[in-house]
Structures are given as structure tokens and as C-alpha cells.
Structure 1
Amino acid sequence: MGCSPYFAVTGSHHLIPLDIIEATYLQPPPLSILSSEDLIVRRAIALQKRDAQVERLHSRVLQHRIEAARCFERDHAATIRDFNFKRSDLVLVRNTKIEKSLNRKMRPRYLGPLITVSRNRGGAYILAELDGTLFDRPFAAFRVIPYFARKSITLPEDFTDVGEDQVRRMEEQDNHGDDEADQDPQDEAN
């Protein structure tokens, strides 16, 4: 950011034992004792400079955020993927419910295969079991990975257990699917 966190919050530099003998403000030192009016003028000038400093600080923080996001995308280019599954694609869902438990060693890490029905406006996937049972909530895109089957499945138009209008309502949601990270497809199907 180009300055200390203390300066970012207060607009002035903090004192450490080495700085006691140095000037800690941005104006030249006074040549003599100041009157109250002169002191107020000096403080007003410092306050006027504060807005410009805060604006410069804000632009630096924003620039560093954008730079950090680009750096993250560059460093993780091999792991960030948007598979963009189509209707009737077979997928696996990462079982995030077990990630916090201590006895996860023998639990299934991925659940499925499941069938992709569609994708909502938020980017989450609407999935169904192989028998057509539609899950009541969409799944976050980061939890869904492709299932490589030897043969593809063709789906009839009305294969789900609910009507097409229910699927359309789920598609219109802006839900990203990550608010229910602990949902388990096996629990919902039962």
C-alpha cells in the first residue's frame, strides 16, 4: 500500500522510539512559537492534505487488489476451471460435509454419478439422481466435476420427478449454491 496500516487509519505516522527526535508531521518545522491561529491554520492544511492522501491510498489498495487477483489467477490457472456442463452430462459432487469431520478417511470424497439438468443464473448446477429425482437446491460449481463414463445417456424431456416449471424457477434463481456447502446429495435424495 505504500504506507503503514496506522497511517491508513489515522492519516499520521506513528511514533516509535527512533522517531521521537524526528518530525512526525508533513509540514516544515515552525521557526518560532506559533499563535493559536497559526496552529489552527497548520492543522487545517494537514487536514486538507488528508483527503488527497486517503484518495491516493484508496487507489493503491484497489490497484493491489486487482494485481493480487491477476496473480492468483495466473498462479492457479491449472486448478481454476469452469467445466460448463450441459444437460444430461454425468457429474460427481464433492462431499464437503465430511471435510470438517475427523473420521473422514473412509468416507466417500465424491458422490454420484448425478445428471446435470441445467445451470441457474448464479452459476450453480441443478442436478438429479439417475432415476430422475431432482435435488431441491442447486450445487455450487466448484463442487461439481465431470464423471467420465464410457457411454453417454440421452435424457427424455420429462425425466425428472417434478415439472418443467419447477426446473425453470430454479434456473431463475441467483443462488451460487455455496450457501449450502454442507448439503449431502445422499441425504437429500432420501
Structure 2
Amino acid sequence: MQPVNIEVIKGDITSLNVDAIVNAANSSLMGGGGVDGAIHRAGGPAILDDCRRIVARQGGCPTGEAVITTAGTLPAKYVIHTVGPVWQGGNKGEEEKLANCYRNSLKLANENGCKSIAFPNISTGIYGYPKDEAAEIAVTTVSGYMVENDLPEQVIFVCFDQENYLHLAKFPEVQRSGNGS
């Protein structure tokens, strides 16, 4: 058991030197917009090649599940792809599916010996999940996992926008990097 080491920063997840970064992927794993497209562009074709092998083996990636690939030319060692839920009003299991995104990503990081992992704000972009609710699920799920497991030792929430940063920064277990601006 370890103390919980969770940090929130504003920045570019593709530039972080961590063991794993998490990609808010779509179920096809073929790249897309937002953070998904940025990770595929920055990491190069090796990520897409691994994704194609996964799709050939198992089909896509269901909502709430996660798969791991190389990080290509990114400074990270791995990319963990997880598919967040599309917000449909909160009565379609979105909360559990979003929590599963974090849990399953952390489990893959643990199984692959990752000491550090960085998460984007899963489902809060075009998938429309309310940012305040998504932040609470993220922090609760991650801190609960970290109390029970030795790896990863460090989790960084990487925010693209100020609103997500502020929602995550309000939790006492989350260390803030600068003021987020």
C-alpha cells in the first residue's frame, strides 16, 4: 500500500515522459479527433499498427474497457486506449462505464509495470459528459485504486482546458501544478 500521488496539470499529454498515457479512444481504435487524434499524430504509425492488430484479434474496444499499445515516438512507453461513455442523461450506466475506463486503464498499467500514468479528461469533450461529475468519478476511482495497489505510483490528470483543471483541482487528494493557466 502506498500514499496516493495524484497531480493535475494543464498541458499536452503527448509531451509527458511517463510510463503510460491514456488515450480517450473511440471503439474502432483507428484514431479520431481531440486527444485521440493528437496521440496518433504525435506517436506515429506504430500506434495505429498495434491498434489494427488488436482489432483483428478482438474487434474494437467496448465502452469502459481498455487495451495497451506501444507509444511509438512519444516519450511514454505505452498508450492505454480506453473508450469512454457518451453522455445520455446519466441513466444509461454512464457513471459505471466511466469509472471502468479509469479502473481498467490502471489495471493494464499495473500489469505492465507502469509506475506513472497520465489521463486526459475522458468523455468530457464531444462525448458530452458533465465535467464536474466526470472529475469526481475520476478522482474517486483513481484514489481508491491507488490505495489498494502498488502500481502505478503516480497519476497525472492532464487537462486541455481550464474548466476541467478547476474541477479536478478542487479535490484535496489532488496536487495542483501551478494555477492551471
**Fold conserved (TM > 0.5)?**
no
Report the TM-score, using the length of structure 2 for normalisation.
0.24
Q: Which has the higher strand share?
A: 2
Greater relative CO, 1 or 2 (CA 8 Å, sep 6+): 2
Rg larger for: 1
